[in-house]
């Protein structure tokens, strides 16, 4: 044993816990750093060679090498002649900085720091969750590798000319949106964003000024509420009926922007009728109001092809079409988009440059290849079939009970809203389900002010077995205290696109 190793052993501070969540190299680096900060090791003290210390601690040599390299890069150690490692000259300054930091921490107010952890995935029946198990990850990784190889590292540079996204992705997406959603657009009108949430945020700051009024559906999407409020707008919450949002004529309304989910109203599931779509689109032109159409999951329509977008009815360039890959692929991808009227392309580009220059290029290139290869279309087709089956499994299972839930809109989507009679407290039901381990938000949670009562069940992320188990648990809770005499499940026809 060399004298250096003996010194470390003598202090008996090097103890590596093989059961710890922390890697051995992180533990070793932290303990050596602690010895330097506490003065047990001083400037110029030599450390044992990596080979020696590795043998002594019965760890691989790389563990010691990486720990040493880490402390060299942090300035605690330095390597000198013939690669001997010493405590560096800068260690005393680092030590006093560390002491200052720890005394400041003593007086600093407590801050909630979330634990580093990964999501265990949604619990039944969390709404709006795709089944990530079905995502073709191996293919995605192959396309990612190919994208990196064929672009010769150009994706690794700053790509400031791609503020609105990787051009092949915008081109492929434009083709998809024109063909599948009837969206009228050129590729350069598409802005790729960090989820549709960033699109909403940027649109809020581009189109609204403090005090402006925004019309929103009630109940509605809280991500959008937060975006409009962040720009200082005040929100007017409008009711929903079986034909979607009920709104006053835009021509006589002092409103700057209307946010709407016409294909499938979030969270009720109603579709905006054709008459109302036309009235909104035409009213927006006369009143010079912006319409933000959030088309978050319209691909999942089970009884017929998806409804065409509202943007396709817009003759006056007032509709901004917003979409996302969170539901079609997987949410942590954080890729969404906005299709901008031509006049907004330049100002949106300027604003987005301030926010983030451009989004992650490698993911965008992979997604472009995913669309190009056709895998995107097969994935949607498979999901649509699968989700339709799961919806049926859910409805069959819940119909075995006698809860007074009415599932009005069953033509598609990732969620089923079970409407409750007004006398029922949906918040209390949701809280009770939560205590039983079920994640079923109440309709009231999405609402500002009075609204219909109900529960929102997501079914897409759960296997038929999980769905049946979840429903059994729910029915076992005996929520159906005094049930009205006709209290069995009523399933109404799906929402209609025809004018009211
Ligand atoms: C109405 C609505 N729009 C958009 C999104 C998707 O947001 P993002 O693209 O930011 O994941 C969701 C997600 O639940 C949603 O419910």
Distance (Å, rounded) from C-alpha 371 to C-alpha 352?
24
Written as tens digits, the pLDDT of the chain (500 aa) is 555 666 665 555 788 999 988 999 999 999 999 999 888 899 999 999 999 999 999 999 999 999 999 999 999 999 876 668 999 988 788 878 877 777 776 666 677 776 667 788 999 999 999 999 999 999 999 999 999 999 999 999 999 999 999 999 999 999 999 999 999 999 999 999 999 999 999 999 999 999 999 999 999 999 999 999 999 999 999 999 999 999 999 999 889 999 999 999 999 999 999 999 999 999 999 999 999 999 999 999 999 888 889 999 999 999 999 999 999 999 999 999 999 999 999 999 999 999 988 999 999 999 999 999 999 999 999 999 999 999 999 999 999 999 999 999 999 999 999 999 999 999 999 999 999 999 999 999 999 988 999 999 999 999 999 999 999 999 999 776 643 433 333 333 332 222 22
Token pair belonging to 256? 């700057």
Token pair belonging to 319? 């509709």
3-state DSSP assignment of residue 235: strand
Cα dihedral sign for 312, 306, 178, 150? positive
User: Which of 191, 224, 266 has the most ligand 1 atoms within 8 A of CB, as the residue to mutate?
Assistant: 266
Domains with residue ranges and CATH for the chain:
3-104 (1.10.10.10), 134-374 (3.40.640.10), 378-476 (3.90.1150.10)
The pLDDT, as a whole number, for residue 480 is 65
The pLDDT, as a whole number, for residue 486 is 39
Which residue has 């999980």 as its token pair?
466
The pLDDT, as a whole number, for residue 308 is 85
Q: Which residues line ligand 1 (CB under 6 A)?
A: 128, 195-197, 221, 223, 261, 266, 294, 296, 324, 326, 331, 336
The pLDDT, as a whole number, for residue 100 is 79
Cα 224 to ligand 1 centroid, rounded to whole Å: 9
Cα 394 to ligand 1 centroid, rounded to whole Å: 23
The pLDDT, as a whole number, for residue 270 is 97
User: Which of 293, 326, 334, 414 has the most ligand 1 atoms within 8 A of CB, as the residue to mutate?
Assistant: 326
Atom of ligand 1 nearest to the CA of 128: 14
Cα 222 to ligand 1 centroid, rounded to whole Å: 9
Bond preceding residue 125 cis, omega within 30 of 0: yes
Cα 317 to ligand 1 centroid, rounded to whole Å: 23
Atom of ligand 1 nearest to the CA of 266: 1
Cα 32 to ligand 1 centroid, rounded to whole Å: 47
Cα 94 to ligand 1 centroid, rounded to whole Å: 46
The pLDDT, as a whole number, for residue 493 is 34
Alpha-carbon distances, residue 10 vs 3, 6, 14, 52, 145 (angstroms): 10, 6, 10, 15, 50
Distance (Å, rounded) from C-alpha 4 to C-alpha 45?
8
Cα 196 to ligand 1 centroid, rounded to whole Å: 6
Cα 284 to ligand 1 centroid, rounded to whole Å: 24
Token pair belonging to 229? 């409020």
The pLDDT, as a whole number, for residue 15 is 87
pTM of the model: 0.88
Identify any residues that bridge with 406 across adjacent strands, giving them in sequence order: 419, 490
The pLDDT, as a whole number, for residue 497 is 26
Distance (Å, rounded) from C-alpha 72 to C-alpha 485?
76
Atom of ligand 1 nearest to the CA of 199: 10
Alpha-carbon distances, residue 483 vs 49, 258, 394, 404, 424 (angstroms): 77, 39, 21, 7, 10
| Strands, sheet with 415-420, edge to edge from the N-terminal-most edge strand | 406-407, 415-420, 453-458
User: Which of 200, 202, 221 has the most ligand 1 atoms within 8 A of CB, as the residue to mutate?
Assistant: 221
């Amino acid at each position: 044993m060399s004298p250096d190793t003996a010194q470390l052993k003598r202090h008996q501070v090097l103890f590596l816990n093989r059961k710890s969540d922390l890697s051995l190299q992180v533990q070793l680096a932290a303990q050596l750093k602690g010895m330097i900060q506490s003065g047990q090791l001083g400037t110029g003290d030599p450390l044992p060679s990596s080979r020696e210390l590795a043998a002594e601690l019965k760890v691989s040599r790389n563990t010691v090498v990486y720990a040493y390299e880490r402390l060299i890069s942090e300035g605690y150690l330095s390597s000198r002649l013939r690669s001997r490692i010493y405590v560096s000259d800068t260690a005393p300054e680092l030590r006093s900085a560390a002491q200052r930091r720890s005394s400041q921490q003593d007086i600093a107010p407590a801050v909630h720091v979330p634990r580093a952890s990964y999501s265990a995935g949604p619990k039944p029946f969390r709404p709006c969750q795709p089944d990530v198990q079905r995502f073709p990850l191996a293919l995605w990784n192959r396309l990612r590798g190919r994208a990196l190889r064929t672009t010769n590292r150009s994706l690794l540079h700053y790509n400031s000319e791609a503020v609105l996204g990787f051009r092949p992705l915008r081109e492929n997406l434009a083709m998809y949106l024109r063909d599948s959603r009837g969206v009228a657009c050129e590729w350069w009108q598409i802005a790729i964003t960090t989820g549709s949430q960033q699109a909403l945020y940027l649109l809020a700051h581009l189109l609204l000024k403090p005090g402006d009024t925004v019309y929103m559906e009630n109940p509605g999407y809280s991500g959008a509420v937060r975006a409009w409020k962040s720009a200082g707008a005040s929100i007017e919450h409008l009711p929903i009926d079986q034909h979607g949002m009920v709104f006053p004529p835009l021509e006589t309304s002092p409103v700057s922007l209307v946010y709407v989910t016409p294909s499938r109203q979030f969270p009720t599931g109603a579709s905006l009728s054709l008459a109302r779509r036309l009235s909104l689109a035409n009213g927006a032109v006369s009143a010079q109001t912006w319409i933000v159409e959030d088309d978050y999951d319209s691909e999942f329509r089970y009884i017929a092809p998806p409804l065409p977008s509202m943007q396709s009815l817009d003759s006056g360039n007032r509709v901004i079409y917003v979409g996302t890959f969170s539901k079609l692929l997987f949410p942590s991808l954080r890729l969404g988009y906005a299709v901008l009227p031509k006049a907004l392309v330049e100002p949106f580009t300027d604003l987005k440059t301030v926010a983030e220059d451009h989004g992650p290029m490698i993911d965008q290139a992979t997604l472009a290849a995913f669309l190009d290869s056709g895998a995107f279309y097969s994935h949607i087709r498979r999901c649509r079939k699968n989700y339709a089956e799961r919806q049926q499994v859910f409805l069959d299972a819940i119909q075995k009970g006698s809860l007074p839930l009415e599932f009005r809109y069953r033509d598609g989507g990732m969620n089923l809203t079970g409407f409750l009679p007004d006398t029922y407290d949906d918040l209390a039901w949701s809280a009770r389900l939560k205590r039983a381990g079920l994640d079923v938000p109440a309709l009231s949670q999405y609402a500002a002010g009075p609204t219909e009562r109900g529960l929102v069940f997501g079914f897409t992320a759960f296997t038929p077995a999980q769905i049946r188990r979840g429903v059994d648990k729910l029915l076992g809770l005996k929520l159906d205290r005094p049930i009205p005499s006709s209290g069995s499940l009523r399933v109404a026809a799906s929402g209609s696109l025809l004018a009211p």
